[in-house]
Protein backbone atom coordinates (compact mmCIF):
# COMPACT_ATOMS: atom_id res chain seq x y z
CA UNK A 1 0.00 0.00 0.00
CA UNK A 2 2.56 2.52 -1.14
CA UNK A 3 2.67 5.29 -3.69
CA UNK A 4 5.54 4.94 -6.13
CA UNK A 5 6.47 7.93 -8.27
CA UNK A 6 9.10 7.54 -10.96
CA UNK A 7 11.15 10.70 -11.36
CA UNK A 8 14.70 11.60 -12.30
CA UNK A 9 14.80 14.04 -9.36
CA UNK A 10 13.09 12.45 -6.32
CA UNK A 11 14.57 14.84 -3.71
CA UNK A 12 13.67 17.87 -5.81
CA UNK A 13 10.13 16.60 -6.36
CA UNK A 14 9.67 16.01 -2.62
CA UNK A 15 10.94 19.53 -1.87
CA UNK A 16 8.57 20.92 -4.53
CA UNK A 17 5.58 19.15 -2.97
CA UNK A 18 6.42 20.60 0.45
CA UNK A 19 6.92 24.07 -1.04
CA UNK A 20 3.54 23.91 -2.79
CA UNK A 21 1.91 23.02 0.53
CA UNK A 22 3.78 25.83 2.33
CA UNK A 23 2.68 28.31 -0.35
CA UNK A 24 -0.95 27.06 -0.15
CA UNK A 25 -0.91 25.91 -3.79
CA UNK A 26 -1.87 22.51 -2.40
CA UNK A 27 -4.42 23.10 0.36
CA UNK A 28 -5.66 19.60 1.19
CA UNK A 29 -2.37 18.15 2.42
CA UNK A 30 0.00 19.01 5.24
CA UNK A 31 3.22 17.54 6.57
CA UNK A 32 4.59 17.29 10.09
CA UNK A 33 8.02 17.68 11.65
CA UNK A 34 8.83 14.07 10.74
CA UNK A 35 8.09 14.89 7.09
CA UNK A 36 4.99 12.67 6.98
CA UNK A 37 1.98 13.87 4.97
CA UNK A 38 -1.67 13.73 6.03
CA UNK A 39 -4.85 14.64 4.18
CA UNK A 40 -6.37 17.73 5.82
CA UNK A 41 -10.14 17.60 5.17
CA UNK A 42 -11.78 16.91 8.57
CA UNK A 43 -13.15 13.54 7.46
CA UNK A 44 -9.63 12.27 6.66
CA UNK A 45 -7.28 14.27 8.87
CA UNK A 46 -4.90 12.10 10.92
CA UNK A 47 -6.52 8.85 9.72
CA UNK A 48 -3.15 7.95 8.14
CA UNK A 49 0.14 9.44 7.03
CA UNK A 50 2.33 9.05 3.98
CA UNK A 51 6.06 8.74 4.76
CA UNK A 52 8.35 9.73 1.87
CA UNK A 53 11.54 7.90 0.95
CA UNK A 54 13.81 8.81 -1.93
CA UNK A 55 15.96 6.43 -3.91
CA UNK A 56 17.52 6.43 -7.35
CA UNK A 57 14.77 7.46 -9.77
CA UNK A 58 11.93 6.85 -7.32
CA UNK A 59 10.00 8.78 -4.69
CA UNK A 60 8.04 6.33 -2.53
CA UNK A 61 5.36 7.16 0.04
CA UNK A 62 4.65 4.37 2.52
CA UNK A 63 1.33 4.38 4.37
CA UNK A 64 1.31 4.73 8.15
CA UNK A 65 -1.95 3.96 9.87
CA UNK A 66 -3.17 5.38 13.15
CA UNK A 67 -2.12 3.51 16.29
CA UNK A 68 -5.70 3.80 17.55
CA UNK A 69 -7.54 2.10 14.69
CA UNK A 70 -6.79 -0.40 11.95
CA UNK A 71 -6.30 1.15 8.53
CA UNK A 72 -9.24 0.33 6.27
CA UNK A 73 -9.45 0.03 2.50
CA UNK A 74 -11.45 3.24 2.14
CA UNK A 75 -8.84 5.28 4.00
CA UNK A 76 -5.84 3.99 2.09
CA UNK A 77 -7.77 4.27 -1.16
CA UNK A 78 -8.59 7.91 -0.49
CA UNK A 79 -5.07 8.75 0.68
CA UNK A 80 -3.41 7.07 -2.28
CA UNK A 81 -5.82 8.33 -4.91
CA UNK A 82 -5.95 11.92 -3.75
CA UNK A 83 -2.21 12.21 -3.21
CA UNK A 84 -1.50 10.86 -6.69
CA UNK A 85 -4.10 13.31 -8.03
CA UNK A 86 -2.24 16.21 -6.37
CA UNK A 87 1.09 15.08 -7.77
CA UNK A 88 -0.26 14.69 -11.30
CA UNK A 89 -2.11 18.00 -11.13
CA UNK A 90 0.86 20.03 -9.94
CA UNK A 91 3.98 18.08 -10.96
CA UNK A 92 3.21 16.06 -14.08
CA UNK A 93 6.28 17.61 -15.68
CA UNK A 94 8.53 16.31 -12.86
CA UNK A 95 7.59 12.62 -13.03
CA UNK A 96 7.10 9.87 -15.58
CA UNK A 97 4.59 7.76 -13.67
CA UNK A 98 2.72 7.52 -10.38
CA UNK A 99 1.10 4.34 -9.10
CA UNK A 100 -0.21 2.76 -5.92
CA UNK A 101 0.36 -0.76 -4.71
CA UNK A 102 -2.70 -2.70 -3.56
CA UNK A 103 -0.93 -4.75 -0.90
CA UNK A 104 1.47 -4.03 1.92
CA UNK A 105 5.10 -3.39 0.98
CA UNK A 106 8.19 -2.99 3.09
CA UNK A 107 7.91 0.22 5.11
CA UNK A 108 4.11 0.23 5.46
CA UNK A 109 2.67 0.30 8.98
CA UNK A 110 -1.09 -0.20 9.18
CA UNK A 111 -1.58 0.46 12.90
CA UNK A 112 -4.47 -0.66 15.07
The pLDDT of residue 70 is: 78
- Could you tell me which residue, 106 or 36, shows the higher pLDDT? 36
Q: What is the mean pLDDT of residues 17-41?
A: 97
The pLDDT of residue 105 is: 65
Would you give the DSSP letter of residue 34?
T
* Interatomic CA distance for residues 111 and 96, integer angstroms: 31
CB count within 10 Å of CB 44 equals: 16
Residue-wise pLDDT for 67-98, tens only, equals 877 788 899 899 999 999 999 999 999 999 99
* Interatomic CA distance for residues 98 and 95, integer angstroms: 8
Is the CB of residue 54 less than 8 Å from the CB of residue 43?
no
Mean pLDDT of the chain: 92
- Could you tell me which residue, 67 or 62, shows the higher pLDDT? 62
Radius of gyration for the chain, computed over Cα atoms and rounded to the nearest angstrom? 13
Q: What class has domain 2-100?
A: alpha beta
Domain parsing of the chain, residue ranges: 2-100
Amino acid sequence: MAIIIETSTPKTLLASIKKAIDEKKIETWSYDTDGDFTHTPEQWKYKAWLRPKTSDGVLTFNILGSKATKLGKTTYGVYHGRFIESVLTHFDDKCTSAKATSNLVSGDIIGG
